[in-house]
Amino acid sequence: MDWISPDHWSRLAEEETDAHRLATAHDGWLDRYADWLLWSGGKPPKVEGLREEVMRRYRFAPRGYLGRQLVIKASDQKPAMLLAGEEPGEIVVRENGMAYLVEPGAGYSSGLFLDQRVNRRWVAGFGAKRMLNLFAYTCSFTVCAAAAGGETCSVDSAQSVLRRGRANLAANGIDPADGHRFLVDDTTNVVPRLIRRGETFDLIVLDPPTFGRAAGSVFRIEKNLPDLVSQCFELLEPGGSLLVSCNFSQWGEQDLQSLCRKAIGGGLCAMETGERPPEIPRGAVSCRIRKER
């Protein structure tokens, strides 16, 4: 396996980050969630070998080891199995000094997508006054914007994840009821409604699933993303930015940027590639779009 270096481990600790990719192999990867390790992929490595390796490299003794075999459809993903040690249940991890509630043993995702760490840091440093988070999931981007003093609006079709989002705000000492909206609704319905109301935002995060169902409608990223990008650009204030991210296996950074440019049409903008953590070679692709006027 390709392990992060001890220096990288130390830098993450200095950044107050204890949720991150630890190692990558040809058939999977190993993630750290505070005191637990989660293997995702093929047959998991032997626990005794992992225990010796992480102690030798980082002087770290995990409290538990989990493993899950990945499937193609997220809805078919089974929870991780405990390989050794303690069950984690719901725990608190830290990333760039922020606290997030996660469940390392859950199915498709723990509640925090680790490949978005650098993009979350960018959102935290943006200093948005009004931020819109679409397909918000557990609202990690919302936490970053709210911690910097911004008002936020988080949209997701699942009430359960927005409930976790409120808890994530509270875990960081932020009152979820003070300037923060949570809309349990289909994003494709909410965005046109916000346009009709004349609402604008100086930061929008658009991080849709590749495929999803909500309120009887079906979302397919290759079909529905262009219209959403166009509408979000309309919602942006001049000088505001739109972060677009996706995990569609057929698209690279250039494919996503090309789609966004076509969707925006004649709108004046500056575009740059989003970032992934250096220890995650493959993951979501993203771009940041600044509305010039």
Query: pLDDT tens digits for 138-190?
Result: 999 999 999 999 999 999 999 999 999 999 999 999 999 999 999 999 999 99
Residue 293: its pLDDT value, please? 77
Task: Give 218-252 pLDDT, tens digit per residue.
Answer: 778 888 999 999 999 999 999 999 999 998 888 99
pTM greater than 0.75 (yes/no): yes
Q: Tell which CATH classification among 3.40.50.150, 3.40.190.150, 3.30.460.10, 3.40.640.10 matches the domain 114-291.
A: 3.40.50.150
Q: For the domain 2-102, what is the CATH code?
A: 3.30.750
What does the chain look like in DSSP terms, one character per residue? -EEPPHHHHHHHHHTT--EEEEEEETTEEEEEETTEEEEEESSPPPHHHHHHHHHHHH----SEEEEE---SSGGGPPPPEEEEE----SEEEEETTEEEEE-TTSSS--SS-GGGHHHHHHHHHH--SEEEEET-TT-HHHHHHHHTT-EEEEEES-HHHHHHHHHHHHHTT--TTSSEEEEES-HHHHHHHHHHHT--EEEEEE---SEEEETTEEEEHHHHHHHHHHHHHHHEEEEEEEEEEE--TT--HHHHHHHHHHHHTT--EEEEE----TT-SSS-EEEEEEE--
Task: Tell me which of 107 and 43 has the higher pLDDT.
Answer: 43
Residue 118: its pLDDT value, please? 97
Domain with CATH 3.40.50.150 in the chain: 114-291
Domain with CATH 3.30.750 in the chain: 2-102
